[in-house]
Structure 1
Amino acid sequence: MGCLCVEHNVGWKKRVLALLLLMGVALAAAPEKAVAARLQILTSFSPAFYEPFIQRFNALHPDIEVAILNKKTTSAIDEVVRGNSRQFDLFWSSSPDAFEILKSSRKLRRSSLGRQHKVLFAGDLSVDDPEGYYFGFALSGVGWMWNQSYLRKEGLKPPQGWADMANPAYYNHMAMSTPTQSGSTHLIVETLLQGMGWEKGWAHLMHIAGNLVTLSARSFSVPEGVKSGLFGMGLVIDILGRPQDMSNLSFRYGEPVFLVAASIAALKNGANTKEAELFIDFVLSPEGQDILLMPGVNRLPVSQAIYDSGKLESSALLALIKAGKSRPYDAYTAQLRYGLVNRMFDELITFKLPERRRIWKRLITLSKQDDANTPAVANVREKVYALLGEIPVTEAQSRDAEFAGIFSSPSSARTGGTVMQGQIEQWQRFVNERLIKAKELLDTVSVKK
């Protein structure tokens, strides 16, 4: 057996050697394959969204190799602001704030080609950057989604407007992400601040916080949790609130809907200028815009040609625009206070969520007691409710470039210097004093467990 095995091995080695020699001849005779051009894209979109675009672009330009990195918006901004050391050519995102931040940081490259295709008129919204640094390719808005069977089981009706979100009936049934971790959640927060005003918007956000089951680390976790029935409803951007399978899910825009344009831009320090221009033009073209109508993508295009073709059968967002129930999102103000808003949300809500939930639950319990409407108890309820909504920063400060600039960088909003740290310590004292006062007030009345 050993001898047969040796003979077999010798024969096998000879055959492999002969095959390798033949392959070498064949390879030497074959022409060298041209090195493909390359395009590197940094995006906050999920593969389910961007893959149809990449596949079609590859079909049109097979010589261009596309590399794409999915990264949450705040981290993507941070990387580009630090210098774009990995030389990404394009930034592609739903966040108008992100593009304004990168433009003000001089990290975007003005397009030499510009928009070649007519855009839909969307009221006062400027779809593209007037100076040609970024281009809108889809319209979006924020709102909330809900699990129909979950709400039926709990005997709850879906919210009809933003004001309903603080309804005590939704205690322990809601979820959202944090703006620090999610660019789309920042849109939700800014929508409320712009729609309700700085002080009322923050008060409403902190009252909503009392109803939250959780603050997820990723925006994608909110629709996943609603779909699975982990919680009944969640605050989301429309691209996440309308998954392909809507059989047990519903989504509604908040009104008025603040229109935002998901955009694309060329980055400075990118190595593939020509390829970047080709991809931008493709996304803005009728062919690229047509991809937005696919069930798995489901976004509202900006191309007038799509509307003229009659392909767009229905759109809740388009109906709101036509009914005059839309307003342009103020991306300039949003980017000015981007870091400030994110840090405030963490200090006022994220880091204090368990305490806020406990106080909110006691307030709900108190409101259901037989003596809830007596002058003494009603006075306590009113004072506690007010304390839960107070903030340490004025609207004037939020629009002050010098003050907001302390928190201008995503990284500085996490680390920062002496001035910023001093501000944060003031906020912490401010919030702690009000939460302690709220608990002391609740202790003065009989709150049944």
Structure 2
Amino acid sequence: MHRGENMKRSLGLLTCLMLLSTLVVSLIPMEVEAQTLTLKIITPHWEGIQVEYERAFDEYYFNLTGVHVDIEWIDVGGTSDIIAYVDAAFAANNETTCNIDIWWGGGVDPFLDQKEKGHLYSFRVNETILDLIPTNISGVPMYDTENFTWYGTALSGFGIIYNKVVLETEGLPVPTTWEDLTDPRLRGWVGSADPRHSGSTHMAYEIILQAYGWEKGFEIATKLGANVKSWPESSSAIPKAVGAGDIAYGLAIDFYAWSEVAKVGADKIGYVMPEGLTVINPDSIAILKGAPNLDLAKIFVEFVLSKAGQKLWMLPKGASGGPVDYLLGRMCVIPELYTELGNQSVVPVNPFEVESVLEYNSTLGSLRYVLLNDLIGAMIIDSHADLVSVWGEIIGVNKTFTEAGQTSTHINTAIEKMCEVPISEAEALALAANWDNETLRNEKIAEWHEFALDKYEEASDQAKLAATEIFEYFQGILDELKTKANNNLYMGLGGGTVLGLIIGIAVAYFISGRKEIAAVRA
């Protein structure tokens, strides 16, 4: 009996140990599976921002919960591409969700548009965070103070990057205003991304229109476009091209420009934000309606807006609390950090101390966002070859007139025709209200493109008339000199020699002038 009881006890103990080991083994994979969450973010932000914020947020969340976070970064292109993607995704899901948690980046205007469409989730962040962030900067809202659907996470300035070495070599001027980029001497030396893909480039053109007014602004945009060498989709390509000397000037958002200055050197690369003609604009974040990982999305938004999240923009690579692998170099949205970080900050500007900025209308910019892209695309980018051609004709003929000390009304008429815009500002706003009607939109784009080709042809005709004028002017001089030579043969060999020299100089100048207008009259 005793031996049997011991055996039963041993078997019971063995069974318990086996069950316990099985339970422990079965728990191991369950624990691993529960350790990682996924957050879906659609963004135009570059790799450096994605890497640094994913690393920092994963570290923060793991310390908070013991769980890791993977971020699925959704890249469909620039801000304008994201608008189309998100709108289509909501439409495909009966406007209930787009199966993405967060939209991060692209300024303010697109977020106002998405709020109007009902695509954003209302979420008021912790009051301790809101207390650190002003409600506006120079009249531009820093976050949605009514419904808390979006928040500015960084501040962006818009300006002109330029290559000092190229300017000195080619004898080109240092820019101070947007209008400086319309100088005929800059033909082929200017760079601009396509605003239909780049949100920051779109912002530059919207700023020009608001700074100078609709008519004058479009004139500047057209002449600037005539000087542009090419239209890449990504705005990050422009500072790189300036740094390489492929172009001398470029439209650029501040942090891309500062990055290029840091890489190439301030002695070679410059950057200017036109005084009184630009804005400091928040780069926003929003949780999208129907977010599949809502609670995690809320925590991410609050992290980005916190001091820990904001320091990533401002601190140098490798600094405590700063980025690890990439220098980000952007202006943060918390004013006190500029004082708190002091000389540690890599950002050269305190945007809250900048006084001379444009009073920007975000609502206006939002209402006509997509329409403006389509208008610039049809009038300037898709008809760029024709624009560049007629601009070259005008420059060549006008140069000959200037050297001859003459003027022509045909030159002014040609420029006015080249810069003509097919609709008024009021008409643009009226159309924008129905711009989601694809039939109307496609009809108007085709109509504007045809308008552009017609006006460039008419401008070319005016340039040819001016070329005929200057040709006849030189012909008159030559005829007059020949007549004088014939009437003064009695002056003898000496007089004939002097007149022959005068005629020779006139002919040489005449031939030079003809070279300038030969292409126009062809």
TM-score over 0.5 for the pair:
yes
Q: Which residue of 2 aligns with 1:239?
A: 255
1:145-224 equivalences in 2 (<5 Å): 145-224=161-240
- 1:154-173 alpha-carbon deviations (Å, 9 max, x no partner): 22232111120101111111
- 1:331-352 alpha-carbon deviations (Å, 9 max, x no partner): 2111211121011011100111
- 1:250-290 alpha-carbon deviations (Å, 9 max, x no partner): 21112222121001110112111111111111111111111
Instruction: Indicate which of 312, 318, 326 corresponds to 2:350.
Output: 318
Tell me how far apart the structure 2 counterparts of residues 166 and 433 of structure 1 sit (CA, whole Å).
22
Instruction: Indicate which of 390, 404, 417 corresponds to 1:387.
Output: 417
Q: Secondary structure of 1:382's match?
A: helix
Q: 1:96·1:262 contact (CA, 8 Å) conserved in 2?
A: yes
With 178-187 and 307-316 compared, the bigger mean Cα shift is at 307-316
Which has the larger Rg?
2
Q: What's the CA shift for 1:440?
A: 1.0
Q: Which residue of 1 aligns with 2:378?
A: 347
Q: What's the CA shift for 1:420?
A: 3.1
Q: Which residue of 1 aligns with 2:87?
A: 81
Tell me how far apart the structure 1 counterparts of residues 354 and 283 of structure 2 sit (CA, whole Å).
22
Tell me how far apart the structure 1 counterparts of residues 59 and 52 of structure 2 sit (CA, whole Å).
11
Q: 2:161·2:251 contact (CA, 8 Å) conserved in 1?
A: yes
Q: Secondary structure of 2:287's match?
A: strand
Q: What's the CA shift for 1:405?
A: 2.6
Tell me how far apart the structure 1 counterparts of residues 354 and 233 of structure 2 sit (CA, whole Å).
36
Q: Which residue of 1 aligns with 2:506?
A: none
Q: CA, structure 1 residues 440+374, in 2 after alignment: closer, same or farther (shift >3 Å)?
A: farther
RMSD value, Cα: 2.4
With 352-361 and 299-308 compared, the bigger mean Cα shift is at 299-308
Aligned residue identity for 2:133: V
The structure richer in helix per residue is 2
Give the alignment's TM-score, normalised by structure 2. Answer: 0.74
- 1:359-389 alpha-carbon deviations (Å, 9 max, x no partner): 11121112221566666x4211111111111
Contiguous gaps of at least 5 residues in structure 2: 1-21, 91-96, 317-326, 468-516
1:21-420 equivalences in 2 (<5 Å): 30=28, 32=30, 33-35=32-34, 36-62=36-62, 63=67, 64-71=69-76, 72-84=78-90, 87-113=99-125, 116-117=128-129, 118-120=132-134, 122-130=137-145, 131-243=147-259, 244-247=262-265, 248-256=268-276, 257-295=278-316, 296-311=327-342, 317-318=349-350, 322-370=353-401, 377-400=407-430, 403-408=431-436, 416-417=438-439, 419-420=440-441
Tell me how far apart the structure 1 counterparts of residues 55 and 225 of structure 2 sit (CA, whole Å).
41
Q: 2:338·2:350 contact (CA, 8 Å) conserved in 1?
A: no
Give the alignment's TM-score, normalised by structure 1. Answer: 0.86
Q: How many residues align?
A: 415
Q: Which residue of 2 aligns with 1:17?
A: none
Q: CA, structure 1 residues 114+356, in 2 after alignment: closer, same or farther (shift >3 Å)?
A: farther
Q: 1:259·1:329 contact (CA, 8 Å) conserved in 2?
A: no
Q: Secondary structure of 1:445's match?
A: helix
Identity %: 22
Q: 2:111·2:150 contact (CA, 8 Å) conserved in 1?
A: yes
The structure richer in strand per residue is 1
Tell me how far apart the structure 2 counterparts of residues 115 and 43 of structure 1 sit (CA, whole Å).
26
